Amino acid sequence: MEEKELRSVASQLSCPEGEFGLVVGDKMNVLNQFISNKTIEALSAKQGESIVEVGPGNGFLSIPLLDVLGKDGYYFGVEMSDLMAAEASRILSDKSCTVEILNGSCSEVYIKPSSIDGVIAINVLYFIEDLISFFKQLRSWVKPRGRVVFGVRSDRALNNLPFAQYGFNIRSTDEIEMLMEQAGFVSIASSVYDEGMTSFGDVDIPVDSVIIVGRKPDM
């Protein structure tokens, strides 16, 4: 791919839009199935909890989480892309839990402080410039002992992706954990899963999932 095409791919992954954005959303559902499942598994949501997902895309991969929350649960999806927010609202409209899709950034939407049991974000951290401010925003939302779970690709895997040099903030797991600690999270731990190889054009690239968890301390 030429640089213009790589920049377009990176931009669409950050904030899908237009007709191609719908294609990107569907493609992400295929490529991110494993990392999404592992992130949701690490969250260990329970029936009736209130959960925020930052960057749910079109919402398809979030369905298992909503099914766990049940009729007494609350799911908030914070989505930057107008297109993906509309798709998520449509796809998740028949779930039994209360669903609210908030279209905007974390700093633009309102979620009541200390009201959320858990937050997840999958393949989102690369697109955040000020990660400490982002983590502090999430920390303000969760209850004491509330948990956060981030699903990311390792810096090794990202450095092998040609488009990741355009607009991605590539950080090591150690750096992410350090910034989480500086933002006030505790009990931080990570797990790494090897997903094997994926194809990008004519090139086979190793892919992995890094699942990082943390908690807000007791007040």
pLDDT tens, 131-176?
A: 999 999 999 999 999 999 999 999 999 998 888 888 899 999 999 9
Tell me the CATH number at 142: 3.40.50.150
Q: At residue 106, does pLDDT exceed 70?
A: yes
What pLDDT does residue 201 have? 61
User: What is the total count of domains within the chain?
Assistant: 1
Within 13 Å and on the Cβ side, how many CA atoms surround 113?
Answer: 3
Q: Which amino acid makes up residue 103?
A: N
Q: In whole angstroms, what is the distance from residue 192 CA to residue 54 CA?
A: 21
Q: What is the mean pLDDT of residues 82-105?
A: 95
| Residue 28: predicted pLDDT | 79
Contact between 85 and 22 (Cβ < 8 Å): no
Tell me the whole-structure pTM to 2 decimals: 0.92
Query: Is pLDDT larger for residue 93 or for residue 18?
Result: 93
Pairing state between β 98-103 and 116-122: unpaired
Which structural domain range is residue 152 located in? 3-215
